Structure 1
């Protein structure tokens, strides 16, 4: 992971990756469109940074949208989707335990897929687009690296419990767990507990 605020020089990246500057420039533009990179006129690019206020806004929006999406998704999830959610939750728990097999980068990808399945199953394109706009991969990645061991295990267990709620067909339960999950993440990132 590259730290927030790190300068991303086109020439250095092109040299390091043995490509011309054109694909680097295009990639940086795409990353900027996703909010992961900030392009600064006459100064180049740098990894995006978020102020405490911006992070608070991101979590406020996610807290309003994502629990609702999960509740909407529960009655629409089929057996195959439930099995996939179960596999993802168990994989995150397996590789998230502290120790030499812990792989936070892999957890970030599994987490993205887990949340994406619920959002897709909700079946509301505007809701999915809004969540894509506020669920920044870099923020999620940093969140997993900032977790204390007990908070990380709590987060990973939330995924298991969300699957249990979905299997029970209980959208209200799944919604409550997603809300607790996001409160846990917010407390880790910015220290806000209520």
Structure 2
């Protein structure tokens, strides 16, 4: 094979590996695989139409994110995250997410503001109609947009890894009786303080929201 062909093969293979990692990540976070469930390379290769080498690389990527654990001579399995660990993760997120909210309020542009107003309306509609799946998705979208608006690369990178590890618990919380209404008001408070370009208030609203998540996690343990 020529050097050009090898380069083309490598560039074609890289997106496939990244995509497989994302597919497996989404499947784990979406509860397609249960905590402690074994992830057998041959089965995953057949399920996703990928090579064993690509599956192995994807599992290594997810192990580095804390979603998968490698077992000596036994392959890999979905890593279970306890409530205590989930609380610790949220405690770390408090510092990072409140920083992002502060920066988002400081850096707010007209386009950012328009997008936040749209999300505010969508969140209100989803909770009003009882569409908790859509509400959960919008929560994740809001969190992502605030991180992006903060333009804080280091905090964003750390948060994306932490949120992946705690996403399963977060999804459960969205369906806890009465939680959606409370959580929606907390998210709207964050949106409103960022829209007001009030960094202190945005930080306080974010801290209050995450503190309520910790309290609920502990009550559900």
TM-score range (shorter-chain normalised) is 0.7 to 0.9
Partner of 1:146: 173
Q: Residues 137-188 of structure 1: CA distance to partner in whole angstroms, max 9, x if unpaired?
A: x522432223423112211222222111112222222212211211222223
Partner of 1:63: 94
- Structure exhibiting the larger radius of gyration computed from Cα positions: 2
Q: What's the CA shift for 1:131?
A: 2.3
Question: Is residue 132–residue 180 contact of structure 2 (8 Å, CA) maintained in 1?
Answer: no
Q: TM-score, normalised by structure 2?
A: 0.73
Gaps of 5+ in 1: none
Q: What's the CA shift for 1:107?
A: 4.3
Distance 1:7 1:89 in 2: 40
Question: Is residue 87–residue 217 contact of structure 2 (8 Å, CA) maintained in 1?
Answer: no
Per residue, is there more helix in 1 or in 2? 2
Q: What's the CA shift for 1:61?
A: 0.8
> For residues 124 and 5 of structure 1, do their structure 2 counterparts lie closer, same or farther at Cα, with a shift above 3 Å needed?
same
Q: TM-score, normalised by structure 1?
A: 0.82
Partner of 1:31: 62
Gaps of 5+ in 2: 1-30
Partner of 2:16: none
Instruction: Tell me, yes or no, if structure 1 residue 168 matches structure 2 residue 196.
Output: yes
Matching residue within 150, 154, 159 for 1:131: 159
> For residues 15 and 121 of structure 1, do their structure 2 counterparts lie closer, same or farther at Cα, with a shift above 3 Å needed?
same
> For residues 17 and 152 of structure 1, do their structure 2 counterparts lie closer, same or farther at Cα, with a shift above 3 Å needed?
same
Moved over 6 A (4+): none
RMSD: 2.4
Distance 2:128 2:183 in 1: 11
Distance 1:118 1:182 in 2: 14
> For residues 90 and 39 of structure 1, do their structure 2 counterparts lie closer, same or farther at Cα, with a shift above 3 Å needed?
farther
Report the 3-state secondary structure (helix = DSSP H, G, I; strand = E; otherwise coil) of the residue aligned with 2:70. Answer: strand
Matching residue within 184, 187, 191 for 2:215: 187
Distance 1:183 1:35 in 2: 23
Question: Is residue 161–residue 177 contact of structure 1 (8 Å, CA) maintained in 2?
Answer: yes
Distance 2:129 2:78 in 1: 28
Instruction: Tell me, yes or no, if structure 1 residue 114 matches structure 2 residue 148.
Output: no
